[in-house]
């Protein structure tokens, strides 16, 4: 029986399996943002936001962004000072180099027997080495005694998430100042309400292919990604229909000021009815019209400095691992 199984039939089976695999991959990408991590978070674009109770694991790194790693690094607070410090030579660099070079020269002189001059040079170098070690030790002990007056900078990852419940009220109650190396930003209940409202509005606008409504709520960069995904669906003859979005749980990951812009990253677990539909027949290819699906993502919003809750716009989406 296996001998009669032709090569053409086997090739057709392989192609069919591959097509099914690709269809499953497309199904998995059916939601706002295509299930990828994209956008910009200013100087923190390539830094993982702090974990929270809603998203206890590190978020997926940004895969698509118009912000390059070098631009993100330059935007981080203190980046210029850090670069200047790194470029500044150590106060002991030249002295250490001199000692090392002298020791090498003295060793060579002793090996090749330059005579009395080598002996004198070796003695001088040994004395310099001993003096240098004593000076370095004195400086080290002095810095230890005086170093306690310099406070250590707190890390953003040291943030301890607050206990949460499964209600959206816990999301609004988590308003606080959370941040890392940049100036911190207080997120108020009205801001949380704006984030929850925008979660629903963006999902619904995407589900009805409303590019104009998306443009009013997201950054130009995110709009380019959304419009590209919708255009791809149109060319495939499918439509990603989304309805009934509901926030189930959420909390603040971090919020900060950066130049003339304010940022807030929030973790949100939400449910919605999400299905991919064939446009010509109306047949549901994937998803469901009755069974909600759940997702956990980190959405970053930005607004101008000292802006209002209505000024927030979506600037990045990261998938929760």
pLDDT digits (tens, 9 = 90+) for 249-267: 999 999 999 999 999 999 9
4-21 average pLDDT score: 42
pLDDT tens profile 45-85:
999 999 999 999 999 999 999 999 988 888 776 554 444 44
Q: What are phi and psi of 313, to 5 degrees?
A: -140, 145
Specify the pLDDT at position 7: 42
Tell me the C-alpha distance between 248 and 167, whole Å.
6
Q: How many CB atoms lie within 10 A of CB 259?
A: 11
Dihedral over alpha carbons 73, 75, 79, 81 (to 10 degrees): 150
Place of tokens 């677990």: 269
Tally of CB atoms within 10 A around 73: 15
91 or 171: which carries more pLDDT confidence?
171
Compute the mean pLDDT over every residue in the chain, rounded to the nearest whole number: 74
For the full predicted model, state whether its pTM sits above 0.85.
no
| Percent of the chain clearing pLDDT 70 (strictly above) | 56
Ordered by where they begin, the domains of the chain are: 30-71+162-319 (3.10.450.240), 93-134 (no CATH)
Q: What is the rounded average pLDDT of the residues 12-29?
A: 42
Residue (of 163, 159, 164) closest to 248 by Cα position: 164
Distances in Å between the Cα of 163 and the Cα atoms of 13, 54, 192, 193, 265 are 52, 10, 17, 19, 18
Assess whether pLDDT exceeds 90 at residue 191: yes
Rounded Cα–Cα distance for residues 275 and 288 (Å): 5
| Band of pLDDT at residue 5, cut at 50, 70 and 90 | very low
């Amino acid at each position: 029986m296996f001998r009669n199984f032709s090569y053409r039939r086997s090739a057709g089976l392989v192609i069919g399996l591959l097509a099914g695999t690709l269809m499953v991959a497309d199904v998995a990408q059916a939601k706002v943002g295509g299930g990828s991590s994209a956008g910009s978070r200013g100087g923190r674009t390539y830094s993982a936001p702090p974990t929270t109770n809603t998203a206890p694991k590190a978020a997926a790194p940004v895969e698509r962004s118009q912000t390059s790693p070098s631009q993100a690094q330059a935007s981080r607070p203190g980046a210029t000072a850090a670069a200047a410090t790194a470029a500044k030579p150590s106060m002991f660099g030249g002295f250490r180099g001199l000692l090392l070079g002298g020791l090498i020269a003295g060793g060579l002189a002793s090996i090749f027997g330059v005579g009395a001059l080598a002996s004198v040079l070796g003695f001088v170098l040994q004395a310099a080495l001993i003096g240098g070690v004593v000076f370095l030790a004195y400086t080290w002990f002095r810095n230890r005694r005086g170093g306690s007056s310099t406070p250590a900078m707190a890390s953003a990852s040291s943030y301890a998430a607050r206990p949460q419940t499964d209600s959206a009220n816990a999301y609004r109650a988590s308003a606080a100042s959370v941040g890392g190396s940049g100036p911190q930003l207080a997120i108020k209940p009205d801001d949380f309400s704006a984030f929850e409202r925008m979660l629903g509005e963006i999902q619904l606008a995407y589900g009805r292919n409303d590019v104009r409504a998306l443009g009013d709520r997201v950054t130009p960069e995110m709009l380019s990604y959304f419009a590209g995904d919708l255009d791809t669906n149109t060319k495939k003859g499918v439509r990603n229909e989304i309805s009934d979005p509901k926030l189930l749980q959420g909390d603040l990951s971090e919020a900060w000021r950066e130049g003339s812009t304010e940022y807030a990253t929030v973790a949100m677990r939400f449910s919605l009815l999400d299905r991919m539909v064939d446009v010509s027949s109306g047949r549901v290819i994937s998803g469901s019209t009755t069974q909600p699906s759940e997702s956990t993502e980190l959405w970053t919003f930005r607004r101008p400095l000292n802006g209002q809750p209505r000024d927030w716009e979506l600037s990045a989406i990261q998938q929760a691992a």
